[in-house]
Chains A and B, each alone.
Chain A
Amino acid sequence: MDEQTAVAEPFDVAVEQDPAEDLVEADDLIEEVSIDGMCGVY
Chain B
Amino acid sequence: MPTASVFDLDRAWDLHPQVSVRPEPFGALLYHFGTRRLSFLKDRGLLSVVQALATAPTARAACRAVGVGEDDMLRYTRALAVLARSHMLTERHPDP
Q: State the A residues within 8 Å of B (CB).
A: 6-7, 10-11, 14-15, 19, 24-25, 27-36
Interface-facing stretch out of B5-13, B53-61, B72-80: B72-80
Indicate whether A11 sits within 8 Å of B75 (C-beta atoms), given known contacts A29-B43, A30-B42, A30-B46.
no
Contacts of B76 in A (CB 8 A): 29
The answer to whether B38 touches A25 (Cβ under 8 A) is no
The answer to whether A32 touches B39 (Cβ under 8 A) is yes
Bound complex: CA A31 to CA B86 (Å)? 11
Could you list 25 examples of A-B contacts with CB < 8 Å? A7-B31, A10-B31, A11-B22, A11-B31, A14-B38, A25-B86, A27-B2, A27-B79, A27-B82, A29-B42, A29-B43, A29-B46, A29-B78, A30-B40, A30-B42, A30-B79, A31-B42, A32-B38, A32-B40, A33-B37, A33-B40, A34-B36, A34-B37, A35-B36, A35-B37
